[in-house]
Amino acid sequence: MPKIQFYNEKNYETIYLKKGDQKKLLSEFLKNFLKEMQSTKKS
């Protein structure tokens, strides 16, 4: 079976993150995730 080929590669997004950004994003994720868990529990 032929494998699917990618085309239009220029359209691909790539993200550029600084090292400090990684920590910030993780901490925001954690903060919001815990908040969401709490509110689902209540509801």
Partner 1 sequence: MNLPQSLPITNRFIEILVIQLGSRSELIQSLIAIQLIKKFYPELAVSILIQGKYIKIVQRISWIHKVIALPEKILKKLCFSDSLKILEQWILPYLKNIWDFLINWTYSESSSYLATLLPARVKIGYTRKKDFSFLINDEWSYYIKNVIQKNIQQNIHLIDIFFTQLLRALQIHVGAPMDHLPPTENSFHFFFNHKELEILNHLPPSKKWISLQINLENAPSVLKLEDWAKLTHYLLENHPDYSIVLLGHFKDPLISQNYMKTLQSLTPLSHQVINLLGKNNFDLWAFFIYCSQWLISNDPTALHLASLLNTQVLSFLPMKFKAVPYGDGHYIIETKKTSISPEIIYGTWAYVEAKKAYTWKVSLKAYFSQLGWEKQLDSYRIYYSKMRPVAQGGGLTYQPLLVQPLSFTSWSSRVISDLAKAWYTGYTPLKNELLAGEVHPELIQNLQSLEKCLLQLHQICQQAIDIATKLDQKSTQILSFHIMKIEDQYEIDIWIRHLKKLEKKIHQLFEHFPTLNVFYQLLKIKMEFHSEHRPEFGKEVLKAYQHMRHGIQVYQTWIQNTVQLTQPCFVEKIHHLNFLYH
Residues that bind partner 1 (CB under 8 A): 1, 3-19, 22-37, 40
Which residue's entry shows tokens 């079976």? 1
Q: Name the minimum Å distance from CB 33 to partner 1.
A: 4
From CA 28, how far away is CA 21, in angstroms rounded? 10
Nearer to partner 1, 19 or 42 (CB): 19
Q: Name the minimum Å distance from CB 5 to partner 1.
A: 6
From CA 3, how far away is CA 5, in angstroms rounded? 6
- Please tell me the number of Cα atoms within 13 Å of 1 on its side-chain side: 2
Q: Name the minimum Å distance from CB 6 to partner 1.
A: 4
